Amino acid sequence: MNEQADMILMEVEDHMSKTLEVLRREFAGIRTGRANPALLDKIHLPYYGVDTPLKQISSIAVVEGNQLFIKPYDKSVLKAIEHAIMASDLGLNPQNDGVGIRLILPALTEQRRRELIKDVERLGEHAKVGVRNVRRDGNEHIKKLDLTEDAEKGYLEDVQALTDQFVKKVDEEIKYKSDELLKI
């Protein structure tokens, strides 16, 4: 066993895991017609002069299957939250009741579901490219080591096995999110 090659394998697996996590976060931001607080993860607003994530200055609860209720810890930011949501690409109309903000997620049309599935597949392909780029980098690092031919071949096969494993996981995530979008 070669310690350097083992470290490279660990780094390859770590980078592939991070690529998968990024994909999961991106998928969480795709609206499915059901309320999910992760939908608001990308929303930031100025709070005392600092660009702050919405989830840090408020509680976000799922009220019904298709409703989110945002209750800020400081009521003075209600208007700012409302403006931030309207300025986002979510396409939602916030309803401010003076205590919090209610977001009602309309049901998705069939056409919109198909568009979102294409987005999911595109994001999945980007993740697969990321995994393959990690494989390429790992292979290059292994080839630079002074390994015997058999050892190098074994490590390259290990990198390929990791690649196959993570590409399969990406495919599973794509299928899960696509199925979730198709549910009415």
- Final residue before a domain boundary, out of 73, 104, 135: 104
Residues 138 and 169 in one domain: yes
Strand ranges in 101-180 using DSSP code E only, listed in sequence order: 101-104
Give yes or no: residues 122 and 94 share one domain.
Answer: no
pLDDT (tens, 9 = 90+) of the chain, 184 residues, equals: 688 889 999 999 999 999 999 999 888 877 766 777 888 888 888 888 888 898 899 998 888 778 889 999 988 888 888 888 888 877 788 888 888 999 888 777 888 888 889 999 999 999 999 999 999 999 999 999 888 999 999 999 999 999 999 999 999 999 999 988 887 6
Question: Same domain, yes or no, for 177 and 135?
Answer: yes
Q: What is the pTM of this model?
A: 0.72
pLDDT of residue 85: 86
What was the pLDDT predicted at 42? 84
**Element at 36 (helix H, strand E):** none
How many folded domains does the chain comprise? 2
CA distance 108 to 181: 9
Beta strands (DSSP E) in the chain are 44-47, 50-53, 58-64, 67-72, 95-96, 101-104
Looking at the fold, whether 72 and 123 belong to one and the same domain comes out as no
d(CA 75, CA 57): 10
Range of the domain at 100: 37-104
Q: Which H/E stretch holds residue 35?
A: none
Residues facing residue 183 across a β-bridge? none
The pLDDT of residue 106: 79
Whichever domain contains 172, its CATH number is: 1.10.132.20
